[in-house]
Structures are given as C-alpha cells and as structure tokens.
Structure 1
Amino acid sequence: MKYFLVVALFLAMPIQAQQQDQKQIQEIYEEALSNGKGYTWLNYLSNQIGARLSGSIQAEKAVSYTKSILDSLGLDKVWLQPVKVPKWVRGIPEFAYLESSAGFTNNVPVRALGGSVATPMGGIKANVIEVRGIEELKALGTTKIQGKIVFFNKPMDPTILNTMDAYAAAVDQRYSGATEASKYGAIGVIVRSLNLRLDDFPHTGAMSYGDTPFEKRIPAAAISTNGAELLSTSLKLNPDIKFFFRQHCKTLPDVDSFNVIGEIKGSTYPDEILVVGAHLDSWDLGDGSHDNGAGSVQSMEVLRLLKATGYTPKRTIRVVLFMNEENGLRGGATYASESRKGNENHIFALESDSGGFTPRGFTFESNQGNFEQLLGWKKLFEPYMVHLFEQGLSGADIGPLKNDNIVLAGLRPDSQRYFDHHHSENDTFQHINKRELELGAAAMASLVYLFDTYGTVASSN
C-alpha cells in the first residue's frame, strides 16, 4: 500500500508544479495588465528626456532617471557600472538636393549615418552612380566610380516575412558602404534607408570606416525611401544629374557613462545569475521609444512584477540597462568583462531590443538539452498567444556573455511595423501601444520565473 502511495505522489508532483507555474504566470499577466508601470516610465523617458545618444546630456539624464526607478522598487542592490563611450554629434541639420540642370533642383531628406565624417563646409556636389549592393562596386571599378557619389539602393526584401532577416540582408551597405566605395575613389555615399515602406523619414544607424586613414574617409548619409525612389528614377531619365549634400557631424573624445544595474538576491542559489536587459541609449532622431526605451522599461518591469506578485526568487535576478549598443556595444562588452573578472556564474540572459509591439515568443541560443526544456514550457505561454519558441539570435548586448552553458534569449514581438520607426524621427512615444508594451513585459517576467524555478540543464541544481 505504501508503494502505491509513493508512486501516486511521485506522479502528482509534475501536475502540481505545472498548476503552480500556470498560477504564477497568470498572476504576472494580471499584474502587468492591471497595474503596469512601464508605459508611465517610458512616457517620461521619451517625452521628458528624449533621444539618448551615447555621450549626450540626455543619456546622462536617462541613467539618473532609471536608477531612481530601480531605487524605488526596493531591490537588494542598485548600482552604476562605469563605461567609456564614444561621443559623435550630428551638428547643424543636414541638407541635400538633386540637380537635374543648372538652377533646377529638388530637395530630398537625408541624415548623416552615425560615425560619419562631415562634408566640406560648403558641402559636396557630384555625379551619382547607383548600385544595388557592395558587390557591384568591384565590377564598376575605379574608372566609373572615382570622383562620384555612390548611391547604395538595395531595398529590404519585402518577401522575407521576418523583417529582422530582411534588415540583416541589406544592412552591410549602410555599415561598410563608405569604406568600400572609398577604395574606388568615391567622394561620398548615399544609402537607401532600411525601411519597408515609402516615406520621408531618413533612417540613420551605425557605420564603420574600419582601418581607413582619417584623411581618406568619405561622408555617408541615409536618404529616405521616397528620396531614394526619386533619385533612382531621375538617374534613369538623366544619368548626368548631380547630387548635393552637406552635413556637419563630428566625433569627439570618448566620455564617461554607465550601465544601470539592479538585482534581487537569490534565496537558494544566489551565485546563479539571471539577467534581463536592454540598451538605454538610442539614436538622436525621434525619442527612441521603440528602440529601445520599450525594452528598457520592460526589463525594469520584470523585477517589479515578480516582487508585486509576492514571488521570492531562488536565484539572483538582475536587470541591466546597457549603454552604447547603437554605436559601439561598449556597455555589453564592459558588463561581460567585469562579470568574468568577478567569476560570476550567469546561467540565463534575456534581452528585449525589437520594439514594444505584441510579443510573439522568443528566440534562443542554447545547447539542445536546454532547448528541449524550453519546448516543454511552451504550452504555458500558448494561452497568451506567445507561440514562437525557436533557436536563433538573442541580442547584441547579452551576446558577449555567451559560453557553452548559458542560455541566451531574445523577446520577439511582431516585427512588421518595427522598421517604420527604427533609427528615425518616426520613433516616438505616440507609436507605443500601452497594452502591447505590458504584454511584452509579462512574457519576459514569465520566462525569467521559469528559469529561476527550474534552472538550466547545465546547472547541477
């Protein structure tokens, strides 16, 4: 009789655990949707502080503000981690036009790419050569490119349903276009904005000159998708048109900044650390609400939700707001370096950096054992329509933590509208949906709860 009682008890344990998980996750969602704070925090971050380019006064204010929020949550520890960051400034607004013949011009919207050098004070004007990607430069050669402005006009592929993949397939022209074009004597580059719709918003973003000597660096700017269509059509009608653009950006010496960190100490396994985070910096256009104010407030909200539902973590749960993801990744690199120096044991890290839209699920970088455990949790998220559990890239800032044992995860919201806003003046608070933002925070908190409860397959506990 005792034997049957023991077997029955053993079989009941998974059912009881599942019921407890369902209850805890339901409480997280109810708290997020009834009393969520992220939208209010984001309202202040976006509308009272604004764009938070690394090294700017606004970035400093964002550090102070988010630290004050974490201080108010009653966490076990809150601190600032020093990070040296680049300081690039845009300067006077850019100006550009097409010139079909002397005196006949059409203005077009452009914005300097992040890290670009300025044009000469009076701007540059030259003939244009259009290419559909970096790979076309070699075929054209110096003879056809020297002394001209290269126009990179490779659109994001609209047939790729995952818009993050479409972006990845086109971003090389923005990041490396100036470096490659300068090898063939180009005097400047204009890059089609990485955006799936036609509008008048130029989309900036990081670019790199690699090891190109300073005196050989050429200015680079993004042109709006409408502007790109106009330029391309005009070139077909008149290959001899000229393009003029002027920008006053420059790079100043590195400055001091900080990652903002807060944690709840684990009650049972305090040396096992779970991180949830996002980058606090943004580009200087718009106010950075989707990229990445949304992820920042969602990450802070995760800790608030766990505390508000009365949950006591077994493991240490840490929120990290990283500085300088957009133009250097210094915050993520510094955090990982300091963690290694302190011999910290991170078993899980979750990043939100894909906007504040409706959550669809998560992507994971993990070994097969951990991924199989994750698939076992998938049913817990199905009532909340968070169905996507796939292996794939997690996030840039948590990437430096990667090793053979840690599980890295990225929140994956619906991505179809994300590039309407990404890196542009159209990334503003008015485009944030409160409920979608809260659903994302709840999904993140639920996943953190499960990893805290069960650990990882690689863990000995």
Structure 2
Amino acid sequence: MKNFPIPTLIFFLLFSTISISQNAVQDSIMLKKIYNSALTDGKAYDWLDYLSNEIGGRLSGSFEAESAVKYTEAELKELGLDKVWLQPVMVPKWTRGFKEYAYIEGDAGEKTIANICALGGSVPTPNLGIKAEVVEVQNFEELEKLGKEKIEGKIVFFNRPMQADLIHTGSAYGGASNQRYSGAEQAAKYGAIGVLVRSLSLKMDDSPHTGAMSYGDAPANQRIPAAAISTNGAEYLSTLLKLKPNLKFYFKQNCKTWDDVASYNVIGEITGSQFPNKFMVVGGHLDSWDLADGAQDDGAGCVQSMEVLRLFKKLNYKPKNTIRVVLFMNEENGLRGGLKYAEEAKRKNEKHVFALESDSGGYTPRGFSLETDAANAQQIRSWEPLFRPYLIHLFDEGYSGADIRPMKENITVLAGLQPDSQRYFDIHHSENDTFDQVNKRELELGAATMASLMYLIDMHGVK
C-alpha cells in the first residue's frame, strides 16, 4: 500500500465527497423529472383502459391474448424504440366453457346455490355433473389421516383460509396456495371424485377466485374436476357440514384443455449508448385469467413497464445499458413466456445485469423486494434518501417475480415492485379484477418508481 502525503489524501477525500454529492443532486433532479412526467403526462392509464375495456380478459391461447400482443406491439413501435419484436412461444390453451353451476343439497332435498368457478387447467365434470358427500380438510396431512376409506367416492373440500394476521398478504397467499395447485392431484390418490377449494382471498364475498392447478404426472383417467368456491360459500358449507355431515354437493363445469398454440412475448428495447451488449429488463405478464379484464393482474404491470421506456424517451435519457421491456405471455397457467425468454437469452449468450418485474397490482408503490447479494442490496438501500420524497421506503430481500426468476442463475440483481398489498387478493383471479379497481395516480406512481430504479441501476451499475 502506498503512503500518500496528508494534503494529497485530504484532496482525494474532498474530491470523492464532492463527486458523491454531485451525483446525488443529479440523481435527485432526474427522479423529480421522472415522477413529474409520469404524473402529468403519463400514458399507462390510457394503455390499461384499452387493454381492459377494449380487449378484456387475456387467457393464454385466446383471441383476446393475441389482440393484446398486436396492440402492445403497435404501441411500443409508436414510442420510437430502437427495436420492437415478437418472440414466439408455444402456450397451453384451456377454455372455461359455459358458466359453472353448483348447489348444496340437504337431507330433505332442499338446494342452496353455491358460487364456484373451475380452476385453471381442470378437467370437466361428466355431462350431468357430479353429486356426492363432502369431506372437509384443512391440509394434505388431514387428507392422509382420513385415507381412502373415508374419502373414496366423495368430494374433498379444502377449506384452509389465508392467514389473516400476516401483514404481507403475499406470504398469506403462498401459505394457502398449495391446496389449490395440488389439491386435486392429492385427493385423487384416495379415490375422491372431485375437489372444492376455498378461494384464496382475505375478503368475505360471493366471488370465487380461479387460478392454476396441476395434476402432476397423473394419467388422464385419474384426473378429477376441481373448482374454487367463494369465501362466503366456503364458510356456509363448512358450517352446514357440522350440522348435516351427510349433505351432498353438486357441481357441473364444462372446461376443456386443447393442444398448445403459438403465441408471443412482446419485446421492445432502447440500445445502450456505452454497453449495448449488457441488458436490463423491465416487464409484466400480458396474459390474465378470463373471469374479468385482468387490469390489476397484470395489465397494470405491463403498462407500467411500457411507461418506463416511454419516460426515458420523453426525457431524452440515453441509457448506458440496453434496456428492454418484455411483456411475457402465459405467466398464469404455465410460465412459458418467462421460460422462453430465459432460454433464448442463454442461447444467445446475452449478459443480463438487472431485471425488474411488476406483478403485484397497480396500488400505491411502497418499494422493492430484492433477490441479489449483500453488496448490491446495500447499494440499492443507499438510494433510499432519493426515494424518500415519494414515500418509497421498502428495500427488502424477497421474491422478485415469476417471469424473471428463470434468469436468476445468470443475472446479478432481480427486483419486484412492491405496491401496498392489502386489497390485492380481494380481487386477484376473480370477476372483480376490473379497470375501475385501478387508481390512475397510484398506477402512475408505480411506473415512476420503476423508472427511477432502472435509471439508478443504469447510471451506477451493479456490483
């Protein structure tokens, strides 16, 4: 180590301090421009209006999904990006068919209508539906204890609610979701003929919530129909079972799984001025469930991601790295788009340094969840004073996003936008996920927050 004279050392320290201070001022000015532009001249809300109200629910393989591909491709081209293209990907196609019908039948034959919807990927019931006694369980352990003797020929009712005392509702959702995803696979092993799953929502209402499910490796002839029942319906059924354990439940659903079909990820980019072969990604998933228009999940994330590149173009910011917006197809029931993007990036030996996803709704932004090492986490947290004027305060380790996680092994930093989550699962995967549930200002604040982090990573690099 060299021994510098004291005056020289003081000069270096002073110069370094001044440089850091100037960078902070420059960054603060840029963030203010980003937020001002997003809030006074944003496009995200208009884009979402069209996606939601003109196109509607965008289930993979549907006409609406392909309309969304064409629409967003055209809008990205309108922004004057350096490159816009469609990345082919084969996706599953599942259709719901005619609306599901269900009722609870008492001892004397009286019937009470139940609100249900088929889980995504479920097989249909027989043409005349199914009617059987119901066995209520909370988890797979209870299922195993009951065994085939008490389950065979019956409908298994998974009634474990999301854990209400968890402040992070995503954790509550994750803690209850295995019964939806794997419930039918597990129940069929004990001879069940159908499955009902309590909707994954903290709200008590009459709207059932769909979502992806899987049969694992079970052959087609061992797959049983699976449906979600509304939270109010689940409470009523559970109460009634305590009074009348021999009651019967009837349901009929008409869903169908088709052969895979061709679709696309929609990609646009601004080429980096210094490091064109280093890539930063911002994105959301373009597909949604079919019960509503998918405004929050994940139309909001798509238009926020598009807005990031629009803001950079409008503010004449020329990024050092190449910045891509990726609108992934098929996150909801297959993750084919995210897997395809990661596969192609690896095949082309593309170096990705950062990826940011918005897939938690368009509510008020609170911060980011980070998947990275300690050095990069520390750098991002050091920018907290820059975000403080915009009430952004969360920079925690956690889950980034489903579509960008396939790149985890080959990328330095992944992040997920974290909006306020308390209302998200009230509408998630249900008929209530509609455009009128989105607040314009909250949506725009989220887009500006994403653009700000993208700018800071681009300016200062990763460790």
TM over 0.5, yes or no?
Answer: yes
Cα offsets for 1:264-288 (capped at 9, x unmatched): 0000111111000000000001100
Shift of 1:10: 3.3
What amino acid is the match of 1:417? R
Counterpart of 2:3? Answer: none
Aligned partner of 2:179 among 173, 182, 198? 173
Counterpart of 1:371? Answer: 377
Aligned partner of 1:39 among 39, 45, 57? 45
Q: Kindly indicate whether residue 456 of structure 2 is the aligned counterpart of residue 429 of structure 1.
A: no
What amino acid is the match of 2:327? L
User: Could you tell me how far apart the structure 2 residues matched to 1:164 and 1:379 are?
Assistant: 26
Cα offsets for 1:121-180 (capped at 9, x unmatched): 000000001001122101000010000000000000100110000000000000000000
User: Could you tell me how far apart the structure 2 residues matched to 1:266 and 1:43 are?
Assistant: 31
User: Could you tell me how far apart the structure 2 residues matched to 1:454 and 1:360 are?
Assistant: 22
Runs of 4+ in 1 over 6 A off after TM superposition: none
Aligned length: 457
Shift of 1:7: 5.2
Cα offsets for 1:300-334 (capped at 9, x unmatched): 00001111122110110000000000000000000
Q: Secondary structure at the match of 1:92?
A: coil
User: Could you tell me how far apart the structure 1 residues matched to 2:246 and 2:12 are?
Assistant: 86
Shift of 1:406: 1.5
Shift of 1:27: 0.3
Q: Is the 8 A contact 2:352 2:410 kept in 1?
A: no
Q: Is the 8 A contact 1:367 1:405 kept in 2?
A: no
Counterpart of 1:24? Answer: 30
Aligned partner of 2:102 among 84, 96, 100? 96
User: Could you tell me how far apart the structure 2 residues matched to 1:296 and 1:112 are?
Assistant: 26
Shift of 1:118: 0.3
Counterpart of 1:408? Answer: 414
Q: Secondary structure at the match of 1:361?
A: strand
Out of 371-380 and 33-42, give the one that drifted further. 371-380
Unpaired runs of 5+ in structure 2? 1-5
Indicate how the Cα distance of structure 1 residues 238 and 20 shifts in structure 2: closer, same or farther if over 3 A, else same: same
Aligned partner of 1:226 among 229, 232, 239? 232
User: Could you tell me how far apart the structure 2 residues matched to 1:218 and 1:211 are?
Assistant: 13
Q: Kindly indicate whether residue 128 of structure 2 is the aligned counterpart of residue 122 of structure 1.
A: yes
User: Could you tell me how far apart the structure 2 residues matched to 1:153 and 1:39 are?
Assistant: 37
Q: Is the 8 A contact 1:367 1:404 kept in 2?
A: no
Q: Secondary structure at the match of 2:74?
A: helix
Shift of 1:380: 1.0
Shift of 1:102: 4.2
Indicate how the Cα distance of structure 1 residues 403 and 214 shifts in structure 2: closer, same or farther if over 3 A, else same: same
Counterpart of 2:280? Answer: 274
User: Could you tell me how far apart the structure 2 residues matched to 1:235 and 1:407 are?
Assistant: 50
**What are the residue-to-residue correspondences of 1:179-190 with 2, within 5 Å?**
179-190=185-196
User: Could you tell me how far apart the structure 2 residues matched to 1:303 and 1:60 are?
Assistant: 22
Q: Secondary structure at the match of 1:20?
A: helix
User: Could you tell me how far apart the structure 1 residues matched to 2:441 and 2:363 are?
Assistant: 9
Counterpart of 2:361? Answer: 355
Q: Is the 8 A contact 1:78 1:261 kept in 2?
A: yes
Counterpart of 1:448? Answer: 454
Shift of 1:9: 3.3
User: Could you tell me how far apart the structure 2 residues matched to 1:333 and 1:11 are?
Assistant: 44
User: Could you tell me how far apart the structure 2 residues matched to 1:317 and 1:79 are?
Assistant: 14
Shift of 1:103: 3.4
What amino acid is the match of 1:224? S
Cα RMSD for the two superposed structures:
1.2
Counterpart of 1:150? Answer: 156
Shift of 1:8: 3.7
**What are the residue-to-residue correspondences of 1:29-428 with 2, within 5 Å?**
29-403=35-409, 405-428=411-434
Q: Secondary structure at the match of 1:103?
A: coil
Cα offsets for 1:5-27 (capped at 9, x unmatched): 66543321100000000000000
What amino acid is the match of 1:21? D
Cα offsets for 1:405-440 (capped at 9, x unmatched): 520000000000000110000000000000000000
User: Could you tell me how far apart the structure 2 residues matched to 1:200 and 1:263 are?
Assistant: 43
What amino acid is the match of 2:197? V
What amino acid is the match of 1:266? G
User: Could you tell me how far apart the structure 1 residues matched to 2:371 and 2:14 are?
Assistant: 37
User: Could you tell me how far apart the structure 1 residues matched to 2:227 and 2:331 are?
Assistant: 20
User: Could you tell me how far apart the structure 1 residues matched to 2:188 and 2:287 are?
Assistant: 30
User: Could you tell me how far apart the structure 2 residues matched to 1:333 and 1:228 are?
Assistant: 35
Q: Secondary structure at the match of 2:289?
A: coil
Q: Secondary structure at the match of 1:402?
A: helix
User: Could you tell me how far apart the structure 2 residues matched to 1:456 and 1:126 are?
Assistant: 58
Indicate how the Cα distance of structure 1 residues 105 and 7 shifts in structure 2: closer, same or farther if over 3 A, else same: closer
Q: Secondary structure at the match of 2:180?
A: helix
User: Could you tell me how far apart the structure 2 residues matched to 1:11 and 1:436 are?
Assistant: 36
Unpaired runs of 5+ in structure 1? none
